[in-house]
Amino acid sequence: NAGVTQTPKFQVLKTGQSMTLQCAQDMNHNSMYWYRQDPGMGLRLIYYSASEGTTDKGEVPNGYNVSRLNKREFSLRLESAAPSQTSVYFCASSPDGNQPQHFGDGTRLSIL
């Protein structure tokens, strides 16, 4: 009963390093999302994928890239990490748009 699985759960990077956050869902959902959550702020959408083969920018896409590898997997890449990208990152999926979203447990990312 995995739902949405994110890896890693924690990561510390140095400024300028790159890394990829992985997300996989086993609910056969069409749509997937990447959010960041910063203290005192609501969730902010980074990128989303409405369906396999498509990706679109959200509210805060700068500094990130995504890949919808297949229907199950949606990865988020930081090419050159910056301290401003220190945040908690959540992946989510939904059957289609504007339907209840299922969230992963989050990745706590610190950029030094």
Among 7, 45, 60, 61, binds other proteins (CB under 8 A): 45
Q: Which stretch binds other proteins (CB under 8 A): 20-28, 55-63, 67-75, 77-85?
A: 55-63
> Residue 61 interacts with other proteins (CB under 8 A)?
no
Among residues 74, 77, 36, which one has the least CA distance to residue 54? Answer: 74
Q: Contact, 61 vs 14, CB < 8 A? A: no
> Residue 60 interacts with other proteins (CB under 8 A)?
no
Half-sphere exposure of 36 (CA within 13 A, CB side): 21
Question: What value, to the nearest 5°, has the Cα angle with vertex 58 and ends 54 and 64?
Answer: 80
> Residue 73 interacts with other proteins (CB under 8 A)?
no
What is the contact surface with other proteins in residues (CB under 8 A)?
Answer: 31, 33, 40-45, 48, 50, 56, 58-59, 88, 90, 92, 96-103, 105-106
